[in-house]
Amino acid sequence: MRHIATIFTLSLALASGGVVACSANIHDNTVNVDAKVSIAATADVDVNAITPGQAVPLKLNADGAVLVAPDQKPASADAEAAAYFKVFLDDTSGTELVATASTMVSVTIPQKTPEGHHKLICQLYKHDGKPTNQEQSLDINVKAMASATSSGNGSAMGSASGTASGNTTTGSGTTSGTASGTSTGSGTASGSASGTVTTHKDGGA
């Protein structure tokens, strides 16, 4: 009778529009492992002044795991403990920046990353591709790439003059002329030159 009453109660709940709600947490899909992950930037990196497109060298570590590259097959004795790293920017549900078993790795910050506070997240993955419960993050601050503008002006001026004379057998006269030119580029230069030629009658014909 108690079993029948339970079925009857459940039927009434469904008939009255009752809804059974379910919720899922992405971390419920992770595998518990006996390991500990760490992530740090190398000493020459200023994590407070990262720019889009910059390659950031990182030091990764996983105590208690046997690191095997995702494209390699682990030894049968290490199959259970075999793992590798994935590094994400801000959210582990997106596409990783890198998947690797190396403890020294460089990740490139995407060009479209907005300014402000961000996190590089290192998560340990089982070698079969399942995410584990081991992850650590590194805080970084992204700044816009500085733009540089340069300008300069320059000018140069000069002049030259000269006189030439000669002899001829007929006629006399004076010829003079001037020439000037200007060139422009990163600067401006101008100059002028003039000369005078005088002819004298040396004798008569």
- What are the tens digits of pLDDT across the range 98-137? 999 999 999 999 999 999 999 999 999 999 999 999 999 9
Nearest to 200 by CA among 154, 162, 166: 166
What fold does the segment set 27-142 form as a domain?
Answer: Immunoglobulin-like (2.60.40)
Amino acid at position 56, single letter: V
β 98-100/104-108 pair status: unpaired
- Percent of the chain past pLDDT 90, that is, above it, reads 54
Secondary structure string (H, E, C) spanning 85-138: EEEEECCCCCCCCEEECCCEEEEECCCCCCCEEEEEEEEEEECCCCEEEEEEEE
The domain segmentation of the chain, as residue ranges, is: 27-142
pTM attached to this predicted model: 0.59
Model pLDDT for residues 8-66, shown as the tens digit of each residue: 444 444 444 443 333 333 455 788 988 999 999 999 999 999 999 999 999 999 999 99
Phi-psi region of 15 (alpha: psi -120 to 50; beta: other; left: phi over 0): alpha
Cross-strand pairs, 40: 59
